[in-house]
Each structure stands twice: as C-alpha cells, then as structure tokens.
Structure 1
Amino acid sequence: MSGLRNLFYRLWLVWAVFFVVVQTAFWSTVSIILFLFDSTGKLTHACGARPWARVLLWGTRVKVRIEGVENIAALSGSAILIVNHQSLFDVLALLGYLPMDFKFVVKQELMKVPLWGFAMRRAGYMPIARGNTAAAQELFEESAARIRQGSSVLFFAEGTRSPDGRLGRFKGGGFKLACASGSPVLPVLVQGSREILPKKSVYIRPGVITLRVLSSVECASAENDSWKLMESVRQKMLVALGQDEDSAET
C-alpha cells in the first residue's frame, strides 16, 4: 500500500510542478501587461502577484492562516517588514495573504536581468548594493526616501532560508533603513512552510502556513540605534517562536 501511495504522490508532484510552471508563465504575462499602466506597482501587486500566489498555493494544496491583522491596521503609514525565512513558499504566503501592499528588497544584480529587471523596477522593488561604495549609499538613500513617501518594504532578515527552522542571525540593512526613514519595524513570523518545502528540497508537501504579525517597533524605542533595534526585534521574534538565543544560534 505504501508503494501505491508513493506512486500517487510522485504523479501528483509532477502535476504540481507543471501547474506551477504554467500558472507562473500566465500570471507573469498578466503582470507585464499591467506594468504598462501601473507606475506604482499597487495594481500589479493586487491583480497580478496576489492571484498568482493564491493560485499556486491552491494548486499545491497549501492553506494559509493569518494572525495579528490588527497590528497592520494599527500602522499609520509605511513600515519595514522583518520576516523570518524557511521556504520558497514564504514568498507565496506573504504575497497571497498578507493584507497590505509591500515591495521586496532585491539584489542590485537582479535588476539587470532582461524582462524580470524591468518588471521589478516597475513593481517598485528596491535594489540593495553590497558594501560601502558611493553607489550603495546612493541606493540606500533612494530607498529611504521612497519609504518615507509611503512604500512599505519587506526584508527576510536572515538573508537566507533557515535549514532547521531556527531563527538565524539577522542582517542589519532593514533596521538601518527603518531608522533612516523613520518608519516602524513590523515583525512577521512565517511558520509551517519548512514542512511544505524545506531548503534544498524539491518535494512539495501539502500543509498549512501560518503568518503571525507581531506589534510594530519604533526606532526611537531603541534610542535611534539600528543595532539595538535589530536586537530588540530579534528577541521579540524569538519569544514568539518559543526559541531561546542558544538554540537559535546553533
């Protein structure tokens, strides 16, 4: 019986991958068309990215629950979303079900990719350059200005997917932007996605992803110090995850 179940799973997996490819091609085309008329990226987010994500989640039999929506409603303007990262499905869950418009931060090199680079620029995604060069500082100041103008931006704080579900070390860029722009940090926890598609795996498992939106944290509460803000937010997320510092660092 287990052999038959395994066969059915493999057939379903082939169908799921085909479904993802076809739907991604279709919704990418829709998004590119919308970009021609959408200078802010909001229309494309609502009518391109969000339905794409929801369709893929439906097709792979993944449900999403969200908690703490009141913490989004409490925001008076833009925010820096700081999110833990466990799986490629994190992106789908966030795009599909986080009830706010936001932009991703992407590496500057990705903006040079034909077509996709154009799409990301039109969507309002914010490029980040590494190092302390003049170009990197210019991009940082440009991003801070756009956030002050009302664009919320999402950072995966660890910079990569966690291999074991533990909260890893944070990168400081998002917290520096929060203090530079005067926007609060909104911590968001993604739970359950690692069981659906772990890092370095190609085997999708149906399941449930939970998005937990925590209360926002102002830079002023950390003495306007981005490193203190980072530590404060990280501790808040560790407590919410039920993890301690030692286990999170292993």
Structure 2
Amino acid sequence: MQFKAIKPVKLYDQVAQDIIAMIEKGELKPGDKLPTEMVLASKLGISRGMLREALTILQYKGYISRKPKDGTYIRELSEINSINDSLINSFKKASYRELLEMREALEQKIVELAIKNSSDEEIQQLLDSLNTSDEKESLLDYDFHLRLAELSKNILLINFIDIYYDLIRELGENSSKNKNRKIKVLEEHKRIVLAILLRNEEMAKEEILNHLNMVRKSIDSITMNKNIDLK
C-alpha cells in the first residue's frame, strides 16, 4: 500500500472549506448576504487579509458573488455545480498540448485584464512575494499563476488556472524538482509582473508567451522520459 505525504493546510484554505461546509449543510443559504469583512474576520478570529484570501477562493469556485458597493452573497448550489462540472469535463477530454495552447491564449488575456483591473498595490504585493529571500516562501508556479489570474478579477480565468494545474499535477511536481528550472521560472515570473506594473501590455504578453514556451519545453522533456496520462 502506498501512502501520499500529507500537505499542510493553509489557514485561508481551511476557512474557505469551513464556509463551503456551512453552505452544503444549509447553515448558509443561497441569497444570504455575508457580514462585512471587518465583522466576519472578527467572528472567525482571523485577519482581514486572511479572510480576503478565503473569499477569493470561494469566489473563483463559484460559491459566492461579490457586488461592488453592496456586499458578498451566497450563490445557488445548482449554479455552482453547473459551472464546475462543465469546465472540468471539457478539460478532462483535452490533451496536455491542447491545454497548453488554450493556456497561451487565456494567460495573454489574464495579463491584459490584470493591467486594466488591478491596482499598483496589488501588483506590488505579488512582486514582493517573488522577491523573498526565503526559498520556502517563494511562490510555486501554480500559486503564482493563480495570484496572477486573481489580478484579472475574472472568475472563469481563475477557475481555468486551478483546474489546469489539477490536471497536470504530476507534471508540475516533476518539473518543480529541477532546481535550475525553478530559478529560471522565478526570473520569468518577475519579468511578467514588472511588465504589468509598468502597464505595458505588449511587454507583458511577450513575457507570458516566453514563459509558457519554456513551460512547453519543460513538459516535453518530462513526457519524453516518462509515460504520463493526463486523461
């Protein structure tokens, strides 16, 4: 019998899961309005920053909707399942090459929307997380692209990144073991964010395509040496 290593659960992930459990048990119902961030964070005993991370997870999974100048509401479960099922089923039928081709198109849109919809402060926070001197604290490829998608403020694009990495998890784990590649990936990520911070759409798209081209080469090298079925 093989056992998988247990990964530590981040606090905001646990908060998100606790709220999802409340929704599924009917303790939170469709149409219910959540308290303000300040009140909800106080009730949960966490910081507002941690709460925002949890709400972002709930939003891209389709459990909540956020209305500007109004508040955060619980969505219909049927609507949540419909969104998730249709996305997952279509992605599962695709090959990894098709997923990469789709990713190239969508991530160009992600950086375009990030430039349009995110603040300098939000972009700088992402850049700061890349500049940490602690290797353990630096963002993994999945975490980076998820944070990048969050800057776009587009729920479907955030969902795409989440499902994409779930489907190619084994490829990602093999790639992350290559220390030289990890260093290069970090530099590629920094160049992407710097271009976004400069509000240079052409440069940002060029940097994201260069990064994804290197991802393609890395995945090709893995699949040449190991038979991996993504379906």
Shorter chain as denominator, the TM-score bin is: under 0.3
Give the TM-score of the pair, scaled to structure 1: 0.26
Taking structure 2 as the reference length, the TM-score comes to 0.27
Structure with greater strand percent: 1
Structure ranking higher on relative contact order (CA contacts 8 Å, 6+ apart): 1
